[in-house]
Structure 1
């Protein structure tokens, strides 16, 4: 469904009216209890109102100074996101060194990796290795997270297993997104952006008290970008996006001890895709081996090169999506501990369509597409002790009921598919974390989570092979525990060292993809993936907390790694399928520093070194065209060709990654404005987008620089800046695909181009009142 501007306006107006109507029943400006985030926007963004050099987070489900948190966490403020050119979820790769977000033409195949660990598989039932939550609500369907990042207070990137507090989808880490809360006085803001390559964004926010006990915040944002790939077939731009989002919050504080927060969010959008050929397509790269269809016929006008941004597709490719979520958070101060209840519901629908042959010929004209639907209900209750006691605890219960469905059709010329599948998961968990100061500056930490989960599925193949069954269903149960142990010592108020050991768990699942059959059904669910991680770190601040230096070292092991592999069944049948195919070891060092120099210069830098290795993967798929000399063992019936990936580097795991930013805001004499100079730089060493080590899918090392110059009102009423993204016009790729199988087994490498594939500039402005 497309949300037109009139519908967006009606939705926004309805939300505001509902908010005003509710004000008749309440009386005060919301002041959250100790366990929740303050209403001041600077504090929400991660800055302590009492000390502008302190960063506040909720990484451990309680409000704390990040320098006192004994886990590896990076905090990204709204200004950092702005300077780094971050406007949607995939852009987070630029500013978080341990994080890689890889987009895909099918959002369910997109993946998030932290410390080289992510999800390298496709199935509607596969859960991610990196969890995402927004305002305490988990985002269970990963494609749902790939949306705009408007009205954000801060983003916390938690690295390493976080399963004890955050559940089974956080075996490699967590991205915690916190949106802005209502302000204590009536405020409004309008922001806009326009670029030299025809992107525009328009957003607005109103916030403030409706009465002495009720506050509200409503924001709306619209973004439109035609794309940076040219389709020669019809002259249109593709690889673009359009989205409209509306977010609302009501915070009611009927007494000094109780606060209730209602959250609403709606998003409606679409994307278009174009995958230019960047290598290959020689004269004999015939389409499906047909000598009558060389590249000059099926890709007329396309000049293959490393910086090619042309395609020739006669069918559209992209997605249409919409989602609506609601949440209710109630906090009750019990005269010491705080009782917190968080209820949520979300539904999301995504239609995807693709010109599967990537050509403009009439025959074969293969297309694919379908619909994803997800629906989730979650309920969390937790009891949080005060943070200023020598014995602290967080105790909780969690329940989730999540369902997915997928309709998929491909054809009519080759690789035919027509099926419908559903996947369900019900989770019940109890969790807790205890912290005890055994000495005035020494703390021991212990956390435990015990969870029961039931998964089920149905799969109907509408074109099963002759004599084969067309319908399957099943279910499975699992009970498991994860835990965390830690020791923390503060030498001074500004120097802390910690060590921890944590385990993670990624749940069992069924391989619901094209080709699901009786053998896959009889094999049962894929076993859970587990992780174990050691971590040691220091958190230090100097010069009246104007200089922060943090260092973390870690080593993690992931066993029963879930990925696409080769599996043999007792009857001799062999399938390419999702399976527990091996193990991975990930270890490295992360360094973060920031400095406030005077009152107008802020500097920051983060560096991550990663030594990641596959330790066991004996029957991995060979990459397209791989030879015996390159390690591909020939097929011996009934086993297809395979390779042993032991010793290889996992996909999406750069050895080095760094980001740096600077902001200078000098006074301009007697003028009522300050100058604004911002610079952001990100570097990434080479990675392979394919787990199979395909040499055609390697992204070489690159660095990107973004620059901004403008003015900012001293009272914070407005800001105007001109910016230049990818200032040195460095070409790189967001994803790579080896398509030689469709083109006569000749080199045919396609790329998904990032938003800043080419240098572009623009102007952004914000006006507040």
Structure 2
């Protein structure tokens, strides 16, 4: 694919194989931290326990998932493997309330929970769904879009989480928990090879350096050639390559103290291919009569299952980044715990795009865009926690962060000219508190609040407009809160009601088209949310059956969202406050151990997410007055319309059967079934409509009785069902004046076509 691959592939594979290559399914628990109630990994491996026995850290202290009055999902490494998930972008396959919509480069991707996310290309614009790694927030959306090599578990918290986690979690968060050092030597390794040219390996080694010092080191390499063919240069594209390295050292000088240093580094690249799946015969590039589809896409047959492109410029990204954190946990004041987390992260991404998406030899066929992103983040969190085994327990904390982002962007040279540089900075300080009071056995009241102050500033220089320069800054102070009531009807049946508020800070719309008018308009207003949840948590038959149900109803005011303004045939993306949105529905999660060797799991989401106020939305390309595009300027009213990327139904079902074959061997039979009902990728636009689909993955293999090794052959997308991970209406680039013509492109998912492979695992 890219030059980078020839530089890292052989070296990365050699390094990983030298450490011991192949895989890991069963997780050995890390050492206990100073207090059992601090935020630690589960005491039992996540892959080996029922849903209701898993420990989570949603409230920043270790608790049984059945006791948390929140909607929380936990995903284990084995679940990721069965569902064919090896990259963050594929997490939506296994978490029904989560949708991850990829784009031509990671920063433009969108993460949404319960139908709510922030599709925004401007720097400094936070997602409504926060992503954390070991409780440390990821500064840039693109930073999350990489492989998942050393995951202990993934916690998905649905609904506003601003009280404990701050201003970038107004719709929820995804917390990636990585493996910790162990008291004894453990080696875990994984490898995968597929029929469509994917190969990957990762290894994790952990153990003691001394009685007081433990370590874990992990390294991973993944390469996939892609599932799109560029007929112009006979290359496979839409693939990826990445190297991830992570290390941790933990020092326990006393029983009441632990200090952990974690460092990480990632280096990778992707290449981009967006096949045209629907093009009208009358379409003409930039309206030029001679530039018909056969001329600008030579060798490409346009159809819904098209996997070919013809681009004369390599669309791609290159990225690298690194950082780490220092975490201290100390027993103070007798039975209290003081936790300090200091982090630093730096990231750089270069992006290149064939903006005309053709191989035309005319000037119109050589229009490209090139850019770069840079981010740098410092964070510091301090929190004091009371013991978790008392009737009254609390957490008091403070948080501070600084973020700096920069973006350089050039598009041209023949049309849609853009050439600008921008920077965005923010400084945030916050204080928070949350308390739980067990009034009497079975009844627990929870309350918490957060106050935060933020300063945001920016610079923007438009080189294409005579180096016009703009700058500005703004301040804001806001509060959020949460309250809940939880009652245990029996030791294994409980219910709760939670009311919480969310907040996402103000920002500036630093994208193409920024001008004096936008500068004078000031920042985009903060986004706020109000959420009500009613939940039931149950376990039966000696905890072998777990059934959890959550009803939710959330209102959003001043939702920050991307709209599109089309200028001279070119779509430019602009951030604004769209008014109101309501999302409500039901979430079900369950697991059943039918026998010692047979388990079932399921999660289902019914979602009703609609705009409650969006009277002046951007019209979609080709929308006419008869279709609702009216007024001056032209606009459509989306009030009452279903939100994009919000399927009505989404579910995931999995089964795992491991019959005994001999005294030392077990068979492995795994099935994963994913279903998603229809949705629009852009509101009401028929060219971005994705019909309902289902995907079935199966695996058969054998493993050691003690899970020391495992080999599984698998087939993903068994029934070869085609669907799209994103659809883009680019008709504006292919419509002659006064003659609108259809031109629609797709981003293809990893499993657009059926593929098979082999997974290997070692664990000792």
**Does the 8 A contact of 1:38 with 1:44 survive in 2?**
no
Q: Residue 82 of structure 1 aligns to a residue in which SS?
A: helix
**Does the 8 A contact of 1:30 with 1:213 survive in 2?**
no
Q: Residue 626 of structure 2 aligns to a residue in which SS?
A: coil
**Aligned CA distance change for structure 1 residues 540 and 502 (closer, same or farther; 3 Å):** same
**Aligned CA distance change for structure 1 residues 14 and 482 (closer, same or farther; 3 Å):** farther
Counterpart pick for 1:755 among 718, 736, 750:
750
How far has the Cα of 1:136 moved from its partner? 1.2
Structure 1 residue aligned with 2:583: 586
Structure 2 residue aligned with 1:558: 556
Structure 1 residue aligned with 2:621: 624
* Distance (whole Å) between structure 2 residues aligned to residue 590 and residue 475 of structure 1: 41
| Residue 236 (str. 1) matches residue 235 (str. 2) | yes
Counterpart pick for 2:36 among 34, 37, 40:
34
Structure 1 residue aligned with 2:689: 698
Counterpart pick for 2:657 among 660, 664, 678:
664
- Deviations, residues 368-417 of structure 1 (Å, cap 9, x unaligned): 01100001000000111111110010111000000110000000111000
How far has the Cα of 1:202 moved from its partner? 1.4
**Aligned CA distance change for structure 1 residues 487 and 617 (closer, same or farther; 3 Å):** same
Structure 1 residue aligned with 2:568: none
How far has the Cα of 1:336 moved from its partner? 1.4
**Does the 8 A contact of 2:403 with 2:427 survive in 1?**
yes
Task: Extract unaligned runs of 5+ from structure 2.
Answer: 21-29, 566-571
Structure 1 residue aligned with 2:443: 442
- Deviations, residues 464-487 of structure 1 (Å, cap 9, x unaligned): 16xxx7101111000000000111
**Does the 8 A contact of 2:98 with 2:112 survive in 1?**
yes
- Deviations, residues 558-612 of structure 1 (Å, cap 9, x unaligned): 0011123499xxxxxxx97322121101110111110112211110001100111
**Does the 8 A contact of 2:354 with 2:369 survive in 1?**
yes
How far has the Cα of 1:203 moved from its partner? 1.4
* Distance (whole Å) between structure 2 residues aligned to residue 264 and residue 13 of structure 1: 21
**Aligned CA distance change for structure 1 residues 164 and 385 (closer, same or farther; 3 Å):** same
How far has the Cα of 1:46 moved from its partner? 7.1
How far has the Cα of 1:122 moved from its partner? 2.2
* Distance (whole Å) between structure 2 residues aligned to residue 596 and residue 224 of structure 1: 36
Structure 2 residue aligned with 1:471: 469
Structure 2 residue aligned with 1:570: none
| Residue 730 (str. 1) matches residue 728 (str. 2) | no
**Does the 8 A contact of 1:547 with 1:596 survive in 2?**
yes
**Aligned CA distance change for structure 1 residues 14 and 445 (closer, same or farther; 3 Å):** farther
How far has the Cα of 1:35 moved from its partner? 3.4
Structure 2 residue aligned with 1:683: 675
| Residue 183 (str. 1) matches residue 182 (str. 2) | yes
How far has the Cα of 1:245 moved from its partner? 0.4
How far has the Cα of 1:44 moved from its partner? 5.3
How far has the Cα of 1:121 moved from its partner? 2.6
Written as runs of structure 1 = structure 2, the 5 A alignment for 1:259-278 is 259-278=258-277
Q: Residue 4 of structure 1 aligns to a residue in which SS?
A: helix
* Distance (whole Å) between structure 2 residues aligned to residue 766 and residue 471 of structure 1: 56
Structure 2 residue aligned with 1:194: 193
**Does the 8 A contact of 2:139 with 2:376 survive in 1?**
no
Written as runs of structure 1 = structure 2, the 5 A alignment for 1:337-348 is 337-348=336-347
Written as runs of structure 1 = structure 2, the 5 A alignment for 1:381-400 is 381-400=382-401
* Distance (whole Å) between structure 1 residues aligned to residue 754 and residue 11 of structure 2: 34
Task: Extract unaligned runs of 5+ from structure 1.
Answer: 17-27, 568-574
Structure 2 residue aligned with 1:614: 611
* Distance (whole Å) between structure 1 residues aligned to residue 701 and residue 228 of structure 2: 30
How far has the Cα of 1:47 moved from its partner? 6.0
Normalising by structure 2, we get a TM-score of 0.94
Structure 1 residue aligned with 2:118: 119
Normalising by structure 1, we get a TM-score of 0.93
How far has the Cα of 1:36 moved from its partner? 4.0
* Distance (whole Å) between structure 2 residues aligned to residue 52 and residue 90 of structure 1: 24
**Aligned CA distance change for structure 1 residues 134 and 277 (closer, same or farther; 3 Å):** same
How far has the Cα of 1:9 moved from its partner? 8.8
**Does the 8 A contact of 2:52 with 2:66 survive in 1?**
no
Structure 1 residue aligned with 2:25: none
Structure 1 residue aligned with 2:8: 4
- Deviations, residues 404-438 of structure 1 (Å, cap 9, x unaligned): 10000000111000000001111000001111111
**Does the 8 A contact of 2:40 with 2:62 survive in 1?**
no
Written as runs of structure 1 = structure 2, the 5 A alignment for 1:290-309 is 290-309=288-307
**Aligned CA distance change for structure 1 residues 9 and 659 (closer, same or farther; 3 Å):** closer
**Does the 8 A contact of 1:44 with 1:181 survive in 2?**
no
CA RMSD across the alignment: 2.1
Structure 1 residue aligned with 2:406: 405
**Aligned CA distance change for structure 1 residues 605 and 757 (closer, same or farther; 3 Å):** same
- Count of aligned pairs: 738
Bigger shift: 181-190 or 672-681?
Answer: 181-190
Written as runs of structure 1 = structure 2, the 5 A alignment for 1:126-137 is 126-137=125-136
How far has the Cα of 1:11 moved from its partner? 9.6
**Does the 8 A contact of 1:29 with 1:215 survive in 2?**
no
Structure 1 residue aligned with 2:284: 286
**Does the 8 A contact of 1:30 with 1:214 survive in 2?**
no
Q: Residue 698 of structure 2 aligns to a residue in which SS?
A: strand
Bigger shift: 333-342 or 601-610?
Answer: 333-342
**Does the 8 A contact of 2:41 with 2:56 survive in 1?**
no
* Distance (whole Å) between structure 2 residues aligned to residue 455 and residue 44 of structure 1: 42
Structure 1 residue aligned with 2:74: 75
Structure 1 residue aligned with 2:763: 768
Q: Residue 210 of structure 1 aligns to a residue in which SS?
A: strand
**Aligned CA distance change for structure 1 residues 37 and 578 (closer, same or farther; 3 Å):** closer
How far has the Cα of 1:721 moved from its partner? 0.4
Structure 1 residue aligned with 2:103: 104
How far has the Cα of 1:669 moved from its partner? 3.1
**Aligned CA distance change for structure 1 residues 124 and 11 (closer, same or farther; 3 Å):** farther
**Aligned CA distance change for structure 1 residues 96 and 52 (closer, same or farther; 3 Å):** closer
- Deviations, residues 425-457 of structure 1 (Å, cap 9, x unaligned): 110000011111112110111110000000000
Counterpart pick for 2:741 among 703, 722, 746:
746
Structure 2 residue aligned with 1:603: 600
**Does the 8 A contact of 2:37 with 2:63 survive in 1?**
no
Runs of 4+ in structure 1 deviating by more than 2 angstroms, as ranges, are 1-16, 28-33, 35-40, 42-48, 564-567
How far has the Cα of 1:362 moved from its partner? 2.3
* Distance (whole Å) between structure 1 residues aligned to residue 753 and residue 491 of structure 2: 46
Structure 2 residue aligned with 1:572: none
How far has the Cα of 1:7 moved from its partner? 7.0
* Distance (whole Å) between structure 1 residues aligned to residue 295 and residue 745 of structure 2: 18
Q: Residue 424 of structure 2 aligns to a residue in which SS?
A: strand
Structure 2 residue aligned with 1:462: 463
**Does the 8 A contact of 1:453 with 1:479 survive in 2?**
yes
**Does the 8 A contact of 1:47 with 1:54 survive in 2?**
no
Structure 2 residue aligned with 1:505: 503
| Residue 425 (str. 1) matches residue 426 (str. 2) | yes
**Does the 8 A contact of 1:382 with 1:397 survive in 2?**
yes
- Deviations, residues 205-247 of structure 1 (Å, cap 9, x unaligned): 2111111011111011100011100100011100000000011
Structure 2 residue aligned with 1:169: 168
